[in-house]
Amino acid sequence: MFGLEALELARVQFAFTITFHIIFPAITIGLASYLAVLEALWLKTKQEVYRDLYHFWLKIFAVNFGMGVVSGIVMAYQFGTNWSAYSEFAGSVTGPLLTYEVLTAFFLEAGFLGVMLFGWNRVGPKLHFFSTVMVAVGTLISTFWILASNSWMHTPQGHEIIDGVVVPVDWLAIIFNPSFPYRLAHMSVAAFLATAFFVGASAAWHLLRGKDNPAIRKMLSMAMWMALLVAPVQAVIGDFHGLNTLEYQPAKIAAMEGHWDNSEGGPTPLLLFGWPDMEAEETRYKIEIPYLASLILNHSLTEPIPALKDFPPEDRPNSTIVFWTFRIMVALGLLMIITGIWSLLLRRGDRLYSSRAFLRMVLLMGPSGIIAILAGWYTTEIGRQPWVIYGLMRTADAVSNHGAGQLGLTLAMFVVVYFAVFGIGMVYVLRLVKKGPVISEGREKGAGGPGEARTPMRPISAADEAINHEQGDQLGERN
């Protein structure tokens, strides 16, 4: 298919499916915590705006959660179908780690998700809030185990190789491998930022079209506080993550920087732009800032960073791709910081909700969090090549014994099905966003909370349904 071999097709298929999959958990992680905050604020203040936002975003959360589960199952199957040699070699590590995710996060989410989605006027307020918090905690626990498994593939430790397979000897060392803390923090914060800009863009879209109400304003305000406070923190985490990568995966750093040669000695400049040419072993059309790469990565004005020519050609990642995916991620991160600072300046002039230039900026930044996550994921995974487990197993040795025709056919099927199923799901989510939160008017203060009379939630349909208020009052008294 397109002249690609079985290995290349297997990699493309995995990249394609994970590109779709990662969108949904990222938004789900952020929205789950956002919903917990909204319900906490509702219970504390009884302000209707928080309840209205909770029910609006709960519908979107439900759709994202469902699509994330379905796409995640496909990812798990690929380990056995397309990467069976990897599973045979390292399954004793990755298998239990994924099992721990199911036994902790999945069971926790499954146990409380139904109460969260359908129990608003069926259980008491404390139990409902507890269920929302447990679902949010479950998403973070799931992130913990997934990144523990993936991080071990980047910085493996706590194992021995006996009879050609990996045997765990220290589970704490396996889980808390050297890159895990940085990757966990980096991905979790990225999910919060992606959700913040998704929420902010939704509010900006409505404000630009003249729909101005307390719920829309609250959405924008909360999103911009998140951007202002958390985006700079993400930059600091990214710096620590880069230093960790320099220590354990120096070839990846060389590829990210497009740096080829240290023969002349001296500090390494930072390349702002350029085109790394893997065949010519040079970066063309480069624009550089002297000393800056050494200063950022080595905190030194004299010590160079590793160069690609320090490694055999067969051990070099594809710098052409990694160079640019890394810069896309960093550029979007800087724009997030700028957007947060701009929002603070507008707050001081009471123009946060009226500056059309700012609102257009926030709207354009809506997908920035997801794009940055994808760019960072590509940087991480392509930068690890040619290793599937860094230093232990090459990607070429991990693939199943399938022909190119088989993999090409399944890849084509994935493309058709994914765009049909998940494309429709994404369109539906955007339609929910377009509809906007339903504003409560004229309702007695305090009515409509968990255990009280209110229109029941149907998160997949987003349709209102009449309710017998006498029955609702009985439910509230009962709980």
How far is it, in rounded angstroms, from Cα 198 to Cα 206? 13
pLDDT tens track, the chain, 479 positions? 555 788 888 888 888 888 888 888 899 999 999 999 999 999 999 999 999 999 999 999 999 888 888 888 887 788 888 888 999 999 999 989 988 988 888 888 888 988 998 988 888 889 999 999 999 999 999 999 999 999 999 999 999 999 999 999 999 999 999 999 999 999 999 999 999 999 999 999 999 998 888 999 999 999 999 999 999 999 999 999 999 999 999 999 999 999 998 877 788 899 999 999 999 889 999 999 998 988 888 888 888 889 999 999 999 999 999 999 999 999 999 999 999 999 999 998 889 999 999 999 999 999 999 999 999 999 999 999 999 999 999 999 998 888 888 888 888 888 898 888 888 888 999 898 888 888 775 444 444 445 444 444 444 444 343 333 333 444 344 33
- What is residue 293's three-state secondary structure? helix
Among candidate residues 272, 346, 257, 353, the one with its CA nearest the CA of residue 305: 257
pLDDT of 466 reads 35
Tokens read off for 71: 């796409």
Beta 387-389 vs 393-394: how paired, if at all? antiparallel
Residue ranges of E strands in 61-125: none
Among candidate residues 299, 309, 316, 323, the one with its CA nearest the CA of residue 262: 309
Model pTM score: 0.88
Among candidate residues 179, 176, 297, 192, the one with its CA nearest the CA of residue 234: 192
Number of H helices, E strands in the chain: 15, 6
Half-sphere exposure in the Cβ direction for 403 (13 Å, CA): 3
Among candidate residues 129, 187, 467, 471, the one with its CA nearest the CA of residue 329: 187
